[in-house]
Structure 1
């Protein structure tokens, strides 16, 4: 009997110029995904993924649909090579943007509707990011309580919050540029192993993204959202949800709420009898995080 699997889908930042080139050269099904996507978006998404330029691919408006499509194209490869792995997937999760990929895989959204939502989400978040100079900083090797103290100290009346609980010793904060700079300095002097400003457009998963929420909720109302056929773990509360109304609400909330990835993975590993995880899509970030959450748990991957 094949192993029970869980699929993990990457979020923004996993993109790189050249992704999906080999995948689409070898698998017609992957090429078809990109062809359909380009028709919906009105531009050559595969050309941007394979040839750049990086500044264009890295913009939030483009990177979110690019990762969504590349991840589902990578899934086509896995389905062609190891259909039993796909058939035995019993639960799924995605990091921030990746939650939409997980919902599409689980049948809650069609590929086309998911792409339309993700494209609007990316454009809305890009616009919100450009309204206020802001960013995100990864702090490695510090306890959450210590980082929360730094956030309170560094905020000085500006927006600054814990944005991503990724794994033990890897927490991301998010806020105005000046508050992030103050927090980075405090973390460096406070014993952090590393402090890494992230190459993102703005302060995702904070109240600075509020202007994006209304646009996202509006487009979510236009698509057919169904109960997922397998559990999809929400970033907001690290729990699965069946009710499309609740899923819609949480997807709007997700933009301004911390991503509880470590809690999501612990729930996934504890409750579904899973024997192997697969990271599906560009990059290897989620496999690295899983090693920090449970070093012994096998996590394989199929890259875009």
Structure 2
């Protein structure tokens, strides 16, 4: 059953990004830190050599859905562990992750072990890549328009016979759509005609749309076999923007997430208005979530996770 934190004071929320922030050398800043050895556990559980992905693999190769997901998960996990190591008493009351980042949030909140989280991210990436390989998808960010206007744009594209849907409701001025490459190209034409800014994203799958239904089915056995902690700290889910504290709910929530829009703006609203969070920390890599949060709530404190000391990265 979903619960929410009592309104007894202000608090901090930890935010974890999704696919799209990956790049070559992403892990360099954490190499040599005391948290680095956790990558051995992530590699064994996921089936990927994450140290190589974080240090050597080129940005173009990291655009592959499965490689991008385990890379971002690993980097965000290192960021969280270093924060906890250096600030063990820092109070964090709530957690949320954008798309893939929800799995990192579940580990940070105590709902999943590192091994279980890594195993699920590996299976999720492979399941999504298997769908995208024979029938690549595409995604684009539409800026400068409210959600209703973007939804109308997708309806116009679907009326032409193409498949496209709203995938991420990121802010009042940024909505991501996803579908077939032809649909995204048509969406670009219509968006330009309407005076909207439109950016095609470096992904090869139509994430969070009905086109991902086969991947949800493929991931379900792994989710059903996972032991989520019976109780854990609150994680606000992508699919309903509500805080959840019971592990029994997450197999269904994670399966639904693959085919449902990410309600990120509503997630932030829940953290701020319902859970009294007036501080947000973006556990990178990148500062995407920090930027979205500042835009939505300019009066709250937003920061990026601390960067490790230079001597660690030099090792």
Q: Same fold, TM exceeding 0.5? A: yes
Matched, 1:110 2:117: no
Alpha-carbon separation, structure 1, partners of 2:261 and 2:181: 18
Alpha-carbon separation, structure 1, partners of 2:198 and 2:181: 15
Alpha-carbon separation, structure 2, partners of 1:163 and 1:57: 21
SS where residue 133 of structure 2 aligns?
A: helix
SS where residue 12 of structure 1 aligns?
A: coil
Gaps of 5+ in 1: none
CA contact (8 A) 2:171 2:296 kept: yes
- Per-residue deviation, 1:53: 2.2
Q: Which residue of 2 aligns with 1:164?
A: 168
Matched, 1:40 2:45: yes
Listed one character per residue, the Cα deviations across residues 166-195 of structure 1 (whole Å, up to 9, x for unaligned) are 011000011111111111111111021x21
Distance 1:189 1:67, change over 3 A: same
Q: Which residue of 2 aligns with 1:60?
A: 65
Q: Which residue of 2 aligns with 1:17?
A: 24
Listed one character per residue, the Cα deviations across residues 260-301 of structure 1 (whole Å, up to 9, x for unaligned) are 000000000112222311011311100010011111211111
CA contact (8 A) 1:6 1:274 kept: yes
SS where residue 167 of structure 2 aligns?
A: strand
CA contact (8 A) 1:108 1:226 kept: yes
CA contact (8 A) 1:49 1:57 kept: no
Higher helix share: 1
Alpha-carbon separation, structure 2, partners of 1:159 and 1:74: 37
Gaps of 5+ in 2: 1-8, 308-315
CA contact (8 A) 2:164 2:183 kept: yes
SS where residue 166 of structure 1 aligns?
A: strand
Using structure 2 for the length normalisation, give the TM-score. Answer: 0.90
CA contact (8 A) 1:282 1:303 kept: no
Alpha-carbon separation, structure 1, partners of 2:39 and 2:256: 29
- Per-residue deviation, 1:50: 1.3
Listed one character per residue, the Cα deviations across residues 205-257 of structure 1 (whole Å, up to 9, x for unaligned) are 11111110111111011111124421100100100223433221111010000
SS where residue 93 of structure 2 aligns?
A: strand
Q: Map residues 64-143 of structure 1 onto 2, 5 A cutoff.
A: 64-85=69-90, 88-143=91-146
User: Matched residue pairs, number?
Assistant: 298
CA contact (8 A) 1:158 1:179 kept: yes
Q: Quick check: 271-280 or 171-180, which moved more?
A: 271-280
Q: Which residue of 1 aligns with 2:312?
A: none
Listed one character per residue, the Cα deviations across residues 13-63 of structure 1 (whole Å, up to 9, x for unaligned) are 1111111212122x122x111122223344431122111122332211111
CA contact (8 A) 2:112 2:229 kept: yes
Using structure 1 for the length normalisation, give the TM-score. Answer: 0.93
Q: Quick check: 170-179 or 235-244, which moved more?
A: 235-244
